[in-house]
């Protein structure tokens, strides 16, 4: 790019930045009485100075002064008031440390093709979490994916932990949710029943630097847990199922690892399944229940489970089907034709639940080390929006999250540390099922 073209673009960016600062300064007046009073005090002070020195500013009786200059002198007061107000508003709209942050981002190479660095337009505290600082940038055309790729460099440059990265109200705006670099997630957080949420659909996953991490099955009906061996998948799965049991859900568990991870207490509270024939029967019952609920909801003109229960006064339970290693069930490698047909039948029933289960309160929680296309069909995967990945390499992270973020952000020795599909890193609660 030619230097003249670069200079032209830089001038355009500077003008836009001044306008953004002015707009933010105007917005800041609404929430700050102190700033309002300071601006009023400035205007009053200018007017008082003008009134007290009116004769000194007057040029009407001076000789050799052109009429045009005399006319201009009469505009001194409004020009001063308007110019000063604009300058103060721009100052209000300029976040503290803007220059330093711009320099740090330039040092790590976060620039566009014209060499421009993202501009900090606002720096505020998060409304829900006061310890979280939100940096809002004008991204100068740098897409969110590039910010995510340079996440660790940005953290080092700004000396913060980025707990969430997202676009603002438009594609130009980038929001960084951050906490000070000294804040760390605990390597072990014990579960306490006081964390349990009362409604029937919300399950707690763990804690992030922004607070409690949860998933609402009424909105995101199915969960996929992935990660390498020892990452903590089974503990997190049992934590979710324990909460479902306490919320009076009907929980069914398929465990093809010999049942060693689910002691006898689970057998008394859940439906357990250890072979393909029992599993096929169990899934058939769930699909039949789904079809039955379709008729019920249609007859009562209800769109979902919560609406049906509220309108009819009944307590129709949620059903949750969980599998602790779905690859043991769905992997067709080395199977006979008869065995493959059984697996295909199981897979088709899981697909029905994945597609239609949300409204009718029937949910899937599937845990597996490697949920690739050979294990989970695209039809099932595409209907599981909540994806959670533990410790993983680049390939495994890509399979689970469609990015390598888990490999980059979760330490290799971390157990119980997970990355949610929306980029939230959290420590899952440690749950001991002997306490059930």
Alpha-carbon gap, residue 146 to 105, rounded angstroms: 13
Place of tokens 């199981």: 346
- pLDDT value at residue 270: 92
318: its two tokens: 């949620």
- Give the SS3 label for residue 175: strand
Question: To the nearest 10°, the Cα dihedral for 302, 307, 312, 317?
Answer: 110
Residues near 52 by Cβ (< 8 Å), separated by ≥ 6?
A: none
> What are the b/e assignments for 254-272, b being 16+ CB within 10 Å?
bbbeebebbeeebeeebbb
Question: To the nearest 10°, the Cα dihedral for 384, 388, 394, 399?
Answer: -10
- pLDDT value at residue 190: 92
What domains lie within the chain, and their CATH numbers? 1-94 (no CATH), 95-183 (3.30.980.10), 189-435 (3.40.50.300)
The one-digit pLDDT tens for each residue of the chain (436 residues) are 667 777 787 788 788 888 888 888 888 888 788 888 888 888 888 888 777 766 555 545 545 445 655 555 566 778 888 888 888 888 888 888 888 999 999 999 999 888 889 989 888 888 777 788 999 998 888 999 899 889 889 999 999 988 888 898 888 899 999 988 877 888 889 999 899 998 889 999 999 988 899 999 999 999 999 988 888 898 999 999 999 999 999 999 998 876 677 888 898 899 998 888 899 999 999 999 999 999 999 999 999 999 999 999 998 999 999 998 888 888 888 888 888 888 899 999 999 999 999 999 999 999 988 777 777 888 888 899 999 999 988 888 888 888 888 888 888 888 899 999 888 899 999 988 776 6
- pLDDT value at residue 426: 93
Per the CB < 8 A criterion, the answer to whether 320 and 251 are in contact is yes
Please name the helix (run of DSSP H) or strand (run of DSSP E) that holds residue 137, with its range, or none: strand 133-138
- pLDDT value at residue 68: 56
β-strand pairing of 271-273 with 250-254: parallel
- pLDDT value at residue 390: 92
Per the CB < 8 A criterion, the answer to whether 336 and 378 are in contact is no
C-alpha closest to that of 421 among 232, 224, 230, 244:
224
| Rounded CA Rg of the chain | 30
- Give the SS3 label for residue 226: strand
Alpha-carbon gap, residue 238 to 266, rounded angstroms: 10
N-to-C CA span, the chain: 67
3-state secondary structure 248-286: CCEEEEECCCCCCCCCHHHHHHCEEECCHHHHHHHHHHH
Angle, vertex CA 29, rays to CA 25 and CA 31, nearest 5: 120
**Sheet-wide strand order for 133-138:** 119-125, 133-138, 173-180, 160-167
* Phi, psi (degrees; rounded to nearest 5) at 49: -60, -40
Bridge-partner residues for 176, per DSSP?
Answer: 135, 165
- pLDDT value at residue 204: 96
Q: Structure pTM?
A: 0.76
- pLDDT value at residue 72: 56
């Amino acid at each position: 790019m030619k230097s003249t073209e670069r200079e032209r673009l830089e001038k355009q960016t500077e003008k836009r930045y001044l306008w953004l600062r002015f707009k933010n300064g105007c917005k800041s007046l609404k929430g700050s009485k102190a700033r309002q009073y300071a601006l009023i005090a400035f205007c009053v002070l200018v007017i008082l100075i003008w009134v007290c020195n009116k004769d000194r500013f007057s040029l009407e009786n001076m000789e050799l002064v052109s009429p045009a200059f005399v006319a201009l002198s009469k505009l001194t007061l409004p020009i001063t008031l308007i110019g000063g107000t604009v300058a103060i508003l721009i100052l209000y709209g300029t976040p503290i440390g803007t220059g330093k942050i711009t320099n740090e981002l330039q040092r790590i190479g976060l620039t566009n093709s014209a060499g421009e660095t993202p501009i900090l337009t606002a720096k505020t505290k998060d409304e829900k979490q006061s310890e979280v600082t939100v940096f809002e940038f004008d991204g100068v055309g740098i897409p969110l994916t590039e910010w995510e790729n340079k996440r660790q460099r940005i953290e080092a440059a700004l000396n913060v932990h980025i707990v969430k990265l997202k676009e603002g109200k438009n594609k130009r705006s980038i929001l960084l949710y951050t906490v000070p670099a000294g804040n760390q997630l605990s390597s072990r957080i014990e579960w306490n029943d006081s964390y349990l949420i009362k409604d029937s659909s919300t399950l707690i996953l763990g804690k992030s630097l922004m607070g409690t991490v949860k998933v609402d099955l009424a909105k995101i009906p199915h969960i996929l847990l992935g990660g390498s061996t020892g990452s903590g998948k089974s503990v997190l799965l049992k934590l979710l199922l324990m909460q479902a049991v306490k919320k009076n859900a009907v929980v069914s568990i398929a465990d093809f690892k010999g049942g060693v991870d689910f002691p006898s207490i689970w057998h008394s509270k859940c439906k357990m399944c250890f072979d393909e024939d029992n599993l096929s029967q169990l899934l058939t019952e769930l699909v039949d229940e789904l079809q039955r609920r379709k008729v019920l909801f249609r007859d009562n003109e209800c769109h979902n489970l919560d609406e049906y229960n509220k309108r009819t006064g009944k307590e129709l339970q949620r059903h949750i089907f969980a599998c602790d290693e779905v690859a043991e069930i769905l992997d067709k490698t080395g199977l006979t034709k008869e065995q493959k047909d059984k697996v295909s039948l199981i897979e088709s029933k899981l697909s029905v639940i994945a597609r239609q289960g949300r409204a009718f309160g029937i949910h899937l929680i599937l845990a597996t080390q490697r949920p690739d296309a050979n294990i989970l069909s695209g039809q099932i995967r595409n209907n599981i929006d909540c994806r959670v990945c533990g410790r993983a390499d680049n390939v495994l992270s890509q399979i689970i999250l469609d990015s390598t973020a888990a490999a980059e952000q979760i330490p290799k020795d971390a157990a119980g540390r997970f990355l949610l599909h929306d980029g939230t890193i959290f420590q899952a609660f440690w749950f001991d099922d002997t306490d059930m």
